[in-house]
Amino acid sequence: MVVAEFVSELRARFGIEFKDLSILDEAFTHSSYANEHRELGISDNERLEFLGDAVLELTVSDYLYRKFPNLPEGELTRMRAAIVQTKSFSSFSREAHFDKYIKLGNGEEAAGARQRNTLLEDLFEAFCGALYLDQGRAAVIKFCQQVIFPHIDAGEFRGISDFKTALQENLQQDGNADIHYEEVSITGPGNARQFNIDVYVDDKLLGSGSGKSKKRAEQAAAKAALVGLGVIS
């Protein structure tokens, strides 16, 4: 069974109390441990990892969709991929101290598996799968608000891909700025149209951009403006 110390830590740090501790235990059981202790008839965490992967995908997608209303689909997908990956999830796992509590077989323990990123990623997903089964998706969202979303809010995964939002944030540091985008022209044949757009702040032209949709052209114009302002190079 899960150690009492971990149960206390989950309660104290995240306000999480599992109704069914056996499902939490399953999430922290690596296949190497289940195989070495077959007399216990326990399951490893791989099925929970399958479920948790999907729960996290939706939770992150929903957050990004609402947080970045101007971001085109391609950029949302790129950001989601940057968040939902081994490097990020293993670091969230460490942040939550999950590495302390995973149960490993002796061979894997000796091989240093406890700090292996792919193992910690799987563990993070399995924990979220278990939390979802035990308490529903709202509990997973609450957990992500503590562990994942602050990193998104800090801009860690944005690169500077949402140039419109970055421009707005930059200009509004000094009070209100009236930013507007104006279409200059549409060029190219019907099946390969190109939109050409200028961005103005308080009637001053800051940048021009082109793209195959209005949104992309606006992003390109905002990017040009950020370059002109020396925010990015």
Q: Which of residues 131-190 bind a second copy (CB under 8 A)?
A: 137, 183, 186, 190
Q: Is 125 a catalytic residue?
A: yes
Catalytic option among 53, 75, 162, 218: 53
Report whether 125 belongs to an annotated binding site.
yes
Q: Which residues pair with 194 in a beta bridge?
A: 187
Q: Please, what is the minimum distance in Å from the beta carbon of residue 173 to a second copy?
A: 27
Closest alpha carbon to 93 in 140, 61, 125, 131: 125
Nearer to a second copy, 134 or 171 (CB): 134
Q: How far is CA 127 from CA 71, 83, 214, in A?
A: 30, 17, 41
Shortest gap between Cβ of 187 and a second copy (angstroms)?
A: 13
56: tokens are 């996290």
Instruction: Give the one residue of 8, 22, 77, 187 binding a second copy; rule: CB under 8 A.
Output: 77
Verify binding: residue 38, a second copy, rule CB under 8 A.
yes
Q: Evaluate whether 90 touches 120 at the Cβ level (below 8 Å).
A: yes
Of the candidates 223, 217, 215, 225, the residue with the CA atom closest to the CA atom of residue 72: 215
The least CB distance from residue 150 to a second copy, in Å, is: 21
| Structural contact between residues 202 and 174, judged by C-beta atoms closer than 8 angstroms | no
Do the beta carbons of residue 161 and residue 78 sit within 8 Å?
yes
Out of 141, 214, 227, 231, which residue is the one contacting a second copy (CB under 8 A)? 214
The answer to whether 174 is a known catalytic residue is no
Q: Which residues carry out catalysis?
A: 53, 125
